[in-house]
Amino acid sequence: MIKKLPFLLLFISSYAFAQDADFFKPDSIRKTVKAVKISTNIKVDGLLDEPEWLLAPASPDFIQIEPYQGKAPNFATLVKVLYNQKYLYFGITCKDPLGKKAIMASDFVRDFDYTRHDLVNLSIDAFNDKRNAMVFATNAYGVQRDLLSFDDLYYDIDWNGLWAVRTNRTDSGWTAEIAIPWKTLRYPKRADTVQSWGFNVYRNRRYTNEVTALSPFPRVFSATHMDYAGVLTNLQPPPPATNIQVDPYFLTSYDHYTNFGSAEPVHASSIKVGGDLKWAINSNSVLDLTAHTDFAQADADIQVNNITRFSVFFPEKRQFFLENASLFGMQVNPLPDGSGGSMNYQPFFSRSIGLDTAGNPIPIVAGGRFVYRSSKLNFGAIAIRQQGANDLPGTNFFVGRVSENFGSQDRVGALISVKNQPGGSNIETTVDGFFRLGESNSLNTLLTQSTTTNTGQKGFGGIMQYYNSNNHYKIWWTESVVTKNFDPQMGFVSRKDVIGTTPGINFYYRGSLLPFKSVLLAFEPGFLPELYYTASTGKFAEMDLPLFPVWLNFKSGAYFGYGIDPIRQHLTSVFQPLGVSIAPGDYSYLTHQFWASTDPSKIINLSFIYQTGSYFNGKLNSGDWKLQFAPVPYISFLGEYSRNHFEGVGENKTTTNVNLYVLRARFALNPRVQLTGIYQRNSLNNADNYNIRLSWEFLPLSYVYLIYNRGVTNMINNMVIQTQTEDHIIYKISYLQQF
């Protein structure tokens, strides 16, 4: 079956390409928006009532991206641009005859989920390289979302820029007023006094999921595909000048431990000071320094009960490591729609620094990061000193990265990482490349050798991934090889000692035969086969053949999918998912999968993934249910229940339940004052975890935090159940000053 798949995919690709009338190339005549220079300051209040706004011409008409590519919008959007010596201003009017009644927003989280909100999104390409963009977005309540995009492939989603926005909601729609300091933007120093930048704006009217854009792009891409962008003209930015941000903090904490014996004192308190410095040396170069780095305010990891043979990838959530992550964090990984296969490889994974294997913090003494970016050449380095803690010695970390852009959107690069401890070093050397083979085809490659000096052990990890994506289908083919001795101590790989082949295809059908077009957006069936062999022996290891004959996407954002998955497994050693011991041997079984979600923007949203059928030598019913209740954007609750019911599985014919409960709550006075809480209970280890955080952004990117963390674990000691508890109260204040 797998051997015949390339010919099937080639045939489908050729046929669909011939049918792909609405997949188009960038227009040779780019839409323009003219900025107007003013000498006064604009009060950013969302009202757009200053007389200066009358001087700026409105943007051209937007064009639909969703649900009807290329059609005129049903709801008009106007963009105006002003600037002075300090700020670049945007005034945006989102017209809607239903006014406030049509506005959708589920919470006040910065960097919110864009699928749940009304929003406008600005993409700015100041270098005109048609590859990279700074992105600034807001919902109708003035909640900010910003990111850096590179080739519409890698994103620094958690980059937080210094800018301001206020909004106003009326009976005829909503308006947004945005002020971005020139110092927040990165742009070249040019001899020309007047500049033009790549620029695009898109709006999502969430009530009907109508997505419109100033400059249209195929819906398979995003608004950061900057070769489709329009132009922002008549800009006269001040020459780039000294740009330094200093962000010191003060922290005090109190800790209390119960039943830890001599491992921890009963009471402890501490005071800590430190901070970060960011120096934008010029338009291309940024230096970051950090001392006594603290991440107390970072979101807690959400636990996962894993029943697969792949390691779970937990995302980075610490701000210092999130910035410029796209330069150092190149990776090949599965996408949210299941495409690409299950293999996940990232040569540099920043969670290897400052965290132990359980996710507990290890103190960072100091560190620095230098990054240079241009339209052709990018390079950077990270150096971190990690303090010794518990049984771990002090450790030095170094990462060096260089990449060169060529062609329209091609790139080659290299990375080296070194983890140095008293006993020796672990070294990774990586070469990588990304190649766009036309508008819809791409090839991504990563090849790494690892060397551990104290053992002399060497290993290899390599992965190549091809995509062919357009408005009618997505085809992919991923090949991976990871040897048994591969040891990327500063990276992440989801599975070792494996050779993987993971092709697949997802269809996107919106044609004339689609029924119920008033509610149904698309029929998107898919076939996602995966085949794995053991690299050290060449013998068969695993085959999955998931087929989704039904996948329906609705115009509301709801979806329903059904899949059937025949699986073969060859185990050479004991496999223990969630404490259930499964003996080596050959197994064949069949599972059924159900995926569904209601409209995620509504007050109540229910989603679930449910899997039922056989599992190795027994049965497994596995489900994950999520229920969100957001009566107003200021208040939201999210409950999650994950259940795995094993029946007659493994060597001991085990029948058991493993349950995970997660409750998250958020209360917001406004986008700047919020109280959040997370409670997690896992029956696998009889543990309860609480995380409560009050945050106040009293000035842009300056915060006061009050945090309470509690962990409860039931331990068996001499046949007696003993409860260990740890409580932590943290107060932290940070103050960002820009010079």
pLDDT in tens, 299-324: 788 889 999 998 888 888 777 887 77
Q: Of the ranges 260-264, 364-368, 604-608, 716-720, which one carries the lowest mean pLDDT score?
A: 716-720
Rounded to an integer, the average pLDDT of 694-714 is: 93
Residue 360 has pLDDT above 90, yes or no: no
Q: How many CB atoms are located within 10 Å of the residue 292 CB?
A: 15
Rounded to an integer, the average pLDDT of 86-95 is: 97
What is the per-residue pLDDT for 718? 63
Residue 331 has pLDDT above 70, yes or no: yes
Mean pLDDT of the chain: 91
Q: How far is CA 461 from CA 399, 484, 515, 538, in A?
A: 18, 9, 46, 16
Residue 8 has pLDDT above 60, yes or no: no
Tell me the pLDDT tens digit for each residue of 413-464. Answer: 999 999 999 989 999 999 999 998 887 899 999 999 999 999 999 999 999 9
Q: How far is CA 482 from CA 256, 314, 433, 498, 607, in A?
A: 44, 20, 18, 5, 35
Q: How far is CA 717 from CA 681, 711, 720, in A?
A: 21, 18, 5
Longest dimension (CA), the chain: 80
Residue 262's contacts (CB-CB under 8 Å, 6 or more residues apart) are none
The alpha carbon torsion through 181, 183, 189, 190 (nearest 10 deg) reads 0
What is the per-residue pLDDT for 11? 46
What is the per-residue pLDDT for 498? 96
CB under 8 Å, gap of 24 or more: what pairs does 257-262 form?
Answer: 257/724, 257/725, 257/726, 257/727, 258/723, 258/724, 258/725, 258/726, 259/715, 259/722, 259/723, 259/724, 259/725, 260/724, 260/726
Nearest to 369 by CA among 421, 320, 430: 320
Confidence band for 340, pLDDT divided at 50, 70 and 90: very high
Tokens found for residue 146: 């910003």
Confidence band for 400, pLDDT divided at 50, 70 and 90: very high
Residue 142's contacts (CB-CB under 8 Å, 6 or more residues apart) are 46, 165, 166, 167, 176, 671
pLDDT higher at 189 or 671? 671
Tokens found for residue 411: 């790139």
Class of the CATH-defined domain 31-235 = mainly beta
Residue 521 has pLDDT above 90, yes or no: yes
Q: How far is CA 698 from CA 4, 179, 387, 666, 733, in A?
A: 61, 18, 32, 19, 10
Rounded to an integer, the average pLDDT of 486-515 is: 95
What is the per-residue pLDDT for 20? 42
What is the per-residue pLDDT for 446? 96
Rounded to an integer, the average pLDDT of 43-66 is: 96
What is the per-residue pLDDT for 13? 46
Domain locations in the chain? 1-25+310-507, 31-235
Residue 15 has pLDDT above 60, yes or no: no
Nearest to 341 by CA among 429, 457, 467: 467
pLDDT higher at 715 or 400? 400
Rounded to an integer, the average pLDDT of 78-101 is: 96
Residue 7 has pLDDT above 80, yes or no: no
Rounded to an integer, the average pLDDT of 164-171 is: 96
The alpha carbon torsion through 213, 214, 219, 225 (nearest 10 deg) reads -120
Q: How far apart are CA 168 and CA 178, in angstroms?
A: 12
Report yes or no: 638 and 626 within 8 Å, Cβ to Cβ: yes
What is the per-residue pLDDT for 154? 77
Residue 67: asked if its preceding bond is cis (omega within 30°), the reply is yes
What is the per-residue pLDDT for 592? 98
Tell me the pLDDT tens digit for each residue of 598-637. Answer: 999 999 999 999 999 999 999 999 999 999 999 999 999 9
What is the per-residue pLDDT for 22? 55
438: left (phi over 0), alpha (psi -120 to 50) or beta: left
Q: How far apart are CA 202 and CA 212, in angstroms?
A: 6
Name the percent of the chain lying above pLDDT 70. 96
Secondary structure letter of residue 151 according to DSSP: T
Q: Of the ranges 13-17, 250-254, 443-447, 631-635, which one carries the lowest mean pLDDT score?
A: 13-17
β-bridge mates for residue 373, sequence order: 378
Q: Which fold has domain 1-25+310-507?
A: Porin (2.40.160)
Q: How far apart are CA 318 and CA 447, in angstroms?
A: 27
What is the per-residue pLDDT for 588? 97
Residue 4 has pLDDT above 90, yes or no: no
Rounded to an integer, the average pLDDT of 271-279 is: 93
What is the per-residue pLDDT for 12? 46
Which segments of 172-229 are extended strands (E)?
A: 173-181, 195-205, 210-213
Tell me the pLDDT tens digit for each residue of 177-211. Answer: 999 999 899 888 777 789 999 999 999 999 999 99
Q: How many CB atoms are located within 10 Å of the residue 719 CB?
A: 5
What is the per-residue pLDDT for 717? 65
Confidence band for 19, pLDDT divided at 50, 70 and 90: very low
What is the per-residue pLDDT for 263? 64
Q: Of the ranges 141-145, 231-235, 286-290, 716-720, which one carries the lowest mean pLDDT score?
A: 716-720
